[in-house]
Structure 1
Amino acid sequence: MAFLELHDIHKSYYLGSEEFPVLKGIDLNLERGEFVSILGESGGGKSTLMNIIGGLDRNFDGAVIVDGKKLDHSKEKQLDNYRRSTIGYIYQSYNLISHLNIVDNILVSLDMTKLSNAERKQRAIDLLTQVGLGDQLKKHPNQLSGGQKQRVAIARALASDPDIIIADEPTGALDSQNTKEVLEILEKIAAEGRLVITVTHSQDVANYGTRIVHLADGKLDGDTRLKPAFPIPSNTEKIESKPLSAGASYNNAFKHLKYNFWRNSLIMIGTAIGLFAVLLFSGLGNGVSAFIQNQINSMVNPNSVTVMKNPSGKKMSTAAFQASMSKFASQPQKMLVKDSEVAKLRDIKNVDKVEPGYQLSTYTLSRGRKNSNGNGLQTWSKAFATNTIQTGHKPGNNEIVISKNEAISLSSGKNYKNLIGKKIKLSLPWITSKNHPVQVKGTLKVVGFTKGGSASIPAATNFSTMKQLLKDAKAETKANYISVNIKKSTQVKQAAKDIKNIKSDGKYTFGSITVGEILDTVNQYVQIATILLAAIAGISLIVSALMIIVTMYMSVSERTKEIGILRALGARKKDIRRLFTAESVFIGLFSAAIALVIAWGAAIGLNNVLYGIVKYNMVQITPTNIIVTVIIALIISFIAALMPSRRASRLNPIDALAAD
């Protein structure tokens, strides 16, 4: 039984509905160890027959049987495996991959074998040495002569240890000396027990083999035996083939990326600018949020819950409750809290301390002829952060702490600290128990200054002092807010929820505000602003994606012949897709790396400038920001490559090989 059998092969091409027969019933049996020349004039169907034997042409009638097994040309997977394990191609135009050196050209085929990396490299070098190119290993195809290129093509055809070598006009572009050397190599290959099929229109080349098959007008009209086939070696080990791995695809993609580095670098920089803007705005959003949190926590204890009377009696969100407070500014009597209501707060789980207090609106401080007007006098409680007082100590009975700005107004910018220990007058409006207006006055000793600037708080005295001042003025003495301190910060959220659920006479008694809720609200606005800014910056990413798409389409166009070569070597459609998506992903990764470097430098520069103003690093790029940026880069580059890579994988291998 012959190793390769062709039975009744018919092939036609169509122009519209008109049929042009090319092969008209080919029957041929070929053995291993033969050096068969298929001789005929141009247009006789020689190349078409070779494409059918090589598993590249699937649209024909008839049967191809290899080693007793019929090839099913409708099954693409089977044909891919057939080309990988059984077929080796040698072309008249060499069909080497220009951006790879000659060793890497051989490795393209060896990457589809089960040899280890070291074994592949060594086999590539050995094959090139065997064809006389052991001293040219680092050269690229454009640095070789025609004869040398053909030797590389022969070495690549042998790389995967195929049973059949198909040589399409292998000497057509060579001089007489190189022709002789190439034919000697092909004869040696046949002598190793392979089937060598050479397509030629040269009688001299055909006479070099063991057998000549003449093809004319799509039919075999001659089959001449010149000499016996070479004997088949026994017990020879064959290299096993396998599909191209993802690692090999990414490696090849990276090599092409390096080859076109300068062109690709422009795409990377353009993409990096968009990623940098997104990263910088995200870092700025983080910094602003952290700054606000720092400022609020420097004034307010995060374990504290500020509790106020809920005059509406309706359960509502914190934001709605805060909005409703403005309605009762002119009706302060509705905000007063009874002692019995304060007692209910002590029964809440995880409560550490309950401190009733006063939050009074406008007030005036005076010393001699100097006055300072303020808003929001409070009584001291655990709600204040421990570092609220910058100088001095918290107020005791008949004592008051004031802000640094107020101290300066009552003295001078240079001598304001001398105000500690001195007495000042306090005056503020309030109401009587019958809701009549009354002026509350008192003289208190200054014992400390609170932080200035954005972290400044109003003046504060303790609860017993303020209650006594109100009593002396015959004003209402009920508290109008309560500071509830919770044992652990992790328990604050639940405690605030429990407080809001307290009822009296079927109505909700309290509303509450926590530092976390304030921060959530503020951060929500910051986040919205950050997203909007990042989205505006993200428009450039759309442009970057379009640039990558154009680049990938250009790459497909430039590498059309390479696609045909890879398909002829046995690469699958998915391998071709992965080759281009991998290159695009590399562009995305390098773009992200460039963006990170630019963002890091910009963050350092901005923080140096802004720190002198706010004493805080306002750009804070987190690991999450970095990871998200890298993911965005990968997604954009991957999506951008989908259409070009799909187009590349759908190219007809025969047409791709014929591309200029």
Structure 2
Amino acid sequence: MLQLKDITKTYTTGEFTQVALNNVNLSFRKNEFVAILGPSGSGKTTCLNVIGGLDHYDSGDLIINGKSTKFFKNPEWDAYRNNSIGFIFQSYNLITHLSIIDNVEMGMTLSGVSAKLKHQKALEALERVGLKEHIHKKPNQLSGGQMQRVAIARALANNPDIILADEPTGALDTATSEQIMELIEEIAQDKLVIMVTHNAELAERYADRIVKFKDGHVVDDSNPYGSVINEFGYKLKKTSMSFSTALKLSGKNISKKMWRTILTAFASSIGIIGIALILSLSSGFQKQIDKFQRDALSEFPIIISQSAMNMDEESINKMRNNSLANQKEYTNEKKVFLYDPAETSIAHTNIFTEDYLDYIKAIDPSICNNIGYTRLVGMNLLRKINGEIKPVSMAIGINVASGGEMDMQTMSASMTNMTSMNGIGLTSYPETLGKSSESYLEKNYDLLAGSYPSDETGLVLVVDNQNRVDYNVLKNLGFTVDNVDSIDFEEIVGTELKLITNDDYYTETELGSFIPGNNYDTMYESKDSITLKITGIIRLKSSVSLGVLGNGIAYSDKLVQRITNNANKSEIVMAQREADYNVMTMEQLDEASKSAFLTYLGGNPTPFMIFLYPSSFEAKDAVLNYLNAYNIGKAEKDTIIYTDLASTITKMTSGIMNAITLVLIAFAAISLIVSLIMIGIITYISVLERTKEIGVLRALGARKKDISRVFNAETFIIGSCSGFLGITIAYLLTIPANIIIENMTDLPNVAQLNPLHALALVVISVILTLIGGTIPAKMAAKKDPVEALRTE
């Protein structure tokens, strides 16, 4: 038989094919059936391997219709095998996991024949070899003769120029051999058939021409031809395998190893399951946190206070320039810089100008529903109790029920408490902006008795969830609380108070000081006094997590504004403006104390604090942008700084949750690395199992990249199955996880798998498996097709 090194040149010209063997030229007509004989039992490589392996051996030129192949590249050899050569192998070399019609179609698939046409040609080829009724069977369901007929049909289907038959009857019995030889003889009527055989009798019986070899030399040629004329213009049609074809090949191969594939996919999905569960719990808990924050923190106002605050220069610059609000500058220096925080800290005091107050009032109601003010203005109150008129009091600014009369010390403590926000206990309820049908009280507080206030003269009593209130609140209003543990609603609702003007309430002494008067009847009946009434009792709604009103008496800011308007030109206020001492106690006052006392008397209408209530948690950012916009271009002393407690709490909780999630994902990701290695091993095993298939595909004209694509398709299928399996299992596991969590924490549906997370994890699974299978796939592509075909 022939060795690869024996083939030096082959020429295909018109109706002739010429093979040069050690410079001995042999010419064949295209319709000749030629048998090439060698010593029986030599065990050397057959002529089949010449065509299958020419791209691996430097054995001279192959001239195809006048075109030299000296500089052919691998894809061109692949195209030549596909376009011009049809192989009939001794051992059939059918792809066992494909049906026989898929086997026959494979060569045409590689040459780009349409699905409809290749199916039609495959049926015609199978009908020609008598197997049309077996088209859906697998090779292992056929006899040896039938499998050889499939191999012949595959060789014919793509209409090649030459049919190469390597011992086509070597594995068949005598009767079947004769049937196959008769079929090959029929094919030789319109094709050049070159058959390599040891069987001289078979060659003598069927061949038109017999070329005999011995020790690599031609020893006999039964019908030699003369020289041939070269023709030019021969073109090759490039071969290719689509990814869908590669998926089909790999899918059918995988289906034969279903349980191994399922176990591999499950093992690979463990990391995906872990990460999916972590993300489900993380996103679920984050949603619960966000919901709680929206419920609880949506009522957290943005606070703007006149009190001094220590802030670093960077924070002030952020508020002065909105463009810097979300930016931080980082240094690239390899040094640690030392600084004294005291030197960079600035004691800043907000100055509320009329311009700024008007700017706040002009805020868009769609982003800010309510505005509240805290004005530390005292109230001169009287109440008729059992026919006797007595002075009473209630908290101002914040509820300080146990303090009795609001003196300077109590007022100072109130400011401290409000500034630090140790408790939200405002006495003035926010004003509703825009055309909302519901007031702030109606939206956030249930009415237990009476009615909501209809104007600024209406007061409400705020109680806690157990209807409790500090006894001092009612005691200071003149109610009898000794030896009493409760008071009926109707005894409180409808209670009237008289708000007395400064001029009626304070009397100037001969020494020029002012003292509260004691003629309460006259004050009470004065035409300038204002009647206040407790219209209702309210309680925070169960759906609202945080209330801003303290338990006690709450009133409208409009009432305080009315007080300041009346008090602005009162005698005590005008006297205090001119004096540098307390006009009541005659003690010297510094500027801060004088301003505070003047505010208490109603001589300063500027609010001490402003509270902005965003319309929603999401609208808070728009409110902050609005506040920042005021500071753009302002001098440092004119900058207004605010406090956003909700943002601070949100960033802290989300940061903790993100850190926990990242740590857990890092641990779960280790299993993904293990999966990647395992996929590489499984793909390598598949390469070893499918080595002969690689040789068959290469002989049919598949390129190296097509072989690589076949195994990439296999890892793609495994990766996709792994991803979807992992996501499915993780989703199912969220059901018992939610039941357990709800029983332990009363939080329903915490574990929620985000569809985007699920999709991302499937993509990650596919990418990792493709990476894991890359090296084995490249190894498969580099396999020698001749060696691959020899593999059993």
Band the TM-score falls in, shorter-chain normalisation: 0.7 to 0.9
CA separation of 1:90/1:398 partners in 2, compared to 1, >3 Å: closer, same or farther? same
Partner of 1:357: 374
Which residue of 1 is the match for residue 357 of structure 2?
343
AA matched with 2:781: S
1:53 pairs, out of 51, 54, 69, with: 51
Q: Which amino acid is 1:482 matched to?
A: I
Which residue number in structure 1 is paired with residue 31 of structure 2?
Answer: 33
1: distance between equivalents of 2:632 and 2:767? 47
Report how far residue 535 of structure 1 moved: 2.6
Q: Which residue of 2 aligns with 1:293?
A: 290
Task: Tell me the SS of whatever aligns to 1:404.
Answer: coil
Bigger shift: 169-178 or 348-357? 348-357
Structure 1 position 194, deviation (Å) = 1.3
Match of 1:547 among 678, 681, 693: 678
Q: Which amino acid aligns with 1:312?
A: N
Question: Could you give the per-residue CA deviations for residues 541-576 of structure 1, whole angstroms, max 9, x where no partner exists?
Answer: 222222211110110010011011101100111111
Whether contact under 8 Å (2:53, 2:785) holds in the other structure is no
The Cα of 1:170 is off from its aligned counterpart by 1.3
- Tell me which moved more, 383-392 or 561-570: 383-392
Amino acid at match of 2:430: S
Cα distance in 1 for partners of 2:692, 2:776 equals 15
Task: Pick one of 188, 192, 201 that aligns with 2:198.
Answer: 201
| Alpha carbons 1:45, 1:218 under 8 Å: kept | no
Partners of 1:541 and 1:495 in 2: how far apart? 47
Which residue in the other structure is 1:399 paired with? 460
**What's the CA shift for 1:455?**
2.8
Shift of 1:110: 2.7
Calculate the TM-score normalised by the size of structure 1.
0.77
Most deviating of 630-639 and 351-360 = 351-360
For each residue in 1:113-153, what CA deviation from the matched residue of structure 2 results, as whole angstroms up to 9, or x when unmatched? Answer: 44332332333233223222233333322222222221111
Q: Where does residue 109 of structure 2 map in the other structure?
A: 111
Displacement of 1:288 in angstroms is: 2.1
**Cα displacement string for residues 440-492 of structure 1 (whole angstroms, at most 9, x for unaligned residues):** xxx99983332559934465345648999x98996999856422356893733
How far did residue 522 of structure 1 move?
3.2
CA distance in 2, matches of 1:481, 1:113: 81
Aligned to 1:641: 773
In the alignment, what sits opposite 1:375? Answer: 423
Q: What is the CA-CA distance between 1:346 and the residue it aligns to?
A: 2.4
User: Is contact 1:84–1:242 with CA below 8 Å preserved after alignment?
Assistant: yes
Gaps in structure 2 of 5+ consecutive residues? 1-12, 226-234, 320-340, 376-395, 404-421, 433-439, 472-484, 494-532, 564-595
Matches within 5 A, 1:469-548: 481-484=609-612, 489=619, 491-498=622-629, 501=632, 503=634, 505-506=636-637, 508-513=639-644, 519-548=650-679
Q: Secondary structure, in 3 states, of the residue corresponding to 1:63?
A: coil
Q: Give 3-state SS (helix, strand or coil) of 1:510's partner.
A: coil
Distance 1:299 1:420 in 2: 29
How far off is 1:84 after superposition?
1.2
Match of 2:124 in 1: 126
Q: Any gaps of 5 or more consecutive residues in structure 1?
A: 10-23, 229-237, 322-326, 367-373, 411-415, 425-442
Q: Which moved more, 1:71-80 or 1:375-384?
A: 375-384
CA distance in 2, matches of 1:509, 1:399: 33
CA distance in 2, matches of 1:417, 1:40: 121
Query: Bigger shift: 200-209 or 481-490?
Result: 481-490
Equivalent residue runs for 1:616-627 within 5 Å: 616-627=748-759
Q: CA 1:343–1:117 in 2, change beyond 3 Å: closer, same or farther?
A: same
Q: 1:65 to 1:343 in 2, by over 3 A?
A: same
Aligned to 2:762: 630
Post-superposition offset of 1:505: 5.0
Distance 2:73 2:137 in 1: 38
Q: State the partner residue of 1:450.
A: 540
| Alignment partner of 1:562 is 2:693 | yes
- Residue 726 of structure 2 aligns to which amino acid in structure 1? A
Question: 1:254: which partner in 2?
Answer: 251
The equivalent of 1:219 in structure 2 is 217
**Gap change, CA 1:545 and 1:457, over 3 Å in 2:** farther
Q: Describe the SS at the equivalent of 1:243.
A: coil
2:165 matched to which residue of 1?
167
Cα separation, 2, equivalents of 1:250 and 1:66: 34
Which whole-Å CA distance do the structure 2 matches of 1:3 and 1:403 have between them?
107
The residue type paired with residue 376 of structure 1 is I
> What's the offset of the Cα at 1:289?
2.3
Equivalent-residue separation in structure 1 for 2:597 and 2:460 (angstroms) = 17
As a proportion of its length, which structure holds more strand?
1
Q: Deviations over 1:467-520 (max 9, x none)?
A: 99x989969998564223568937335224325658565474303427567545
CA deviation after TM superposition for structure 1 residue 198, in Å: 0.9
Change (3 A) 1:471 1:648: same
Count residues in correspondence. Answer: 596
Whether the aligned pair in 2 keeps the contact of 1:92 and 1:168 (CA below 8 Å) is yes
- Please, which of 70, 73, 83 is the counterpart of residue 68 of structure 2? 70
Q: Which sits farther off after the overlay, 140-149 or 304-313?
A: 304-313
Higher CA-based Rg:
2
Alignment deviations for residues 42-62 of structure 1 (CA, whole Å, 9 cap, x no partner): 686963643333454432232
CA–CA separation in structure 1 for the residues paired with 2:549 and 2:212 = 109
Task: State yes or no: 1:271 paired with 2:271.
Answer: no
Deviation at 1:632, TM superposition (A): 1.0
Instruction: Kindly indicate whether the alpha-carbon contact (under 8 Å) linking 1:336 and 1:480 is maintained by their aligned counterparts in 2.
Output: no
Asked whether the equivalents of residues 295 and 545 of structure 2 are also in contact (C-alpha less than 8 Å), the reply is yes
Distance in 2 of aligned mates of 1:96 and 1:385 = 83
Residues 305 and 483 of structure 1 are in contact (CA less than 8 Å); yes or no, is this contact kept in structure 2?
A: yes
Identity %: 29
Q: Distance in 2 between matches of 1:280 and 1:268?
A: 18
Alpha-carbon distance in 2 for matches of 1:152, 1:53: 20
Contact 2:463–2:469 (8 Å) recurs in 1: no
2:713 counterpart of 1:582? yes
Determine if the alignment matches structure 1 residue 659 to structure 2 residue 791: yes
| Aligned mates of 1:551, 1:113 — CA distance in 2 | 30
In 2: Cα distance, 1:586 partner to 1:422 partner: 78
Does structure 2 conserve the Cα–Cα contact (< 8 Å) formed by 1:552 and 1:644?
yes
Equivalent runs, 1:590-605 vs 2, <5 Å: 590-605=721-736
Change (3 A) 1:314 1:59: same
Residues 535 and 652 (structure 1), Cα distance of their counterparts in 2 relative to 1, 3 Å cut: same
Aligned partners of 1:419, 1:648: CA distance in 2, in Å? 90
Question: Which TM-score applies when normalising by structure 2?
Answer: 0.66
Take 1:517 and 1:161, find their aligned partners in 2: how far apart are those partners? 77
What is the CA–CA distance in structure 2 between the aligned matches of 1:417 and 1:554, rounded to whole Å? 84
| Root mean square deviation of aligned Cα | 4.4
Q: Is the Cα contact below 8 Å between 2:80 and 2:236 reproduced in 1?
A: no
Tell me, yes or no, if the aligned pair for 2:29 and 2:192 is still in contact at 8 Å.
yes
**Alpha-carbon shift at residue 390 of structure 1 (Å):** 5.6
**What SS does the aligned partner of 1:307 have?**
strand
Distance, in Å, in 1 between the alignment partners of 2:24 and 2:687 is 36
Residue 648 of structure 1 and its aligned partner are, at CA, apart by: 0.6
Further displaced range: 470-479 or 555-564: 470-479
Contact 1:94 1:153 in 2 (8 A): yes
Change (3 A) 1:538 1:389: farther
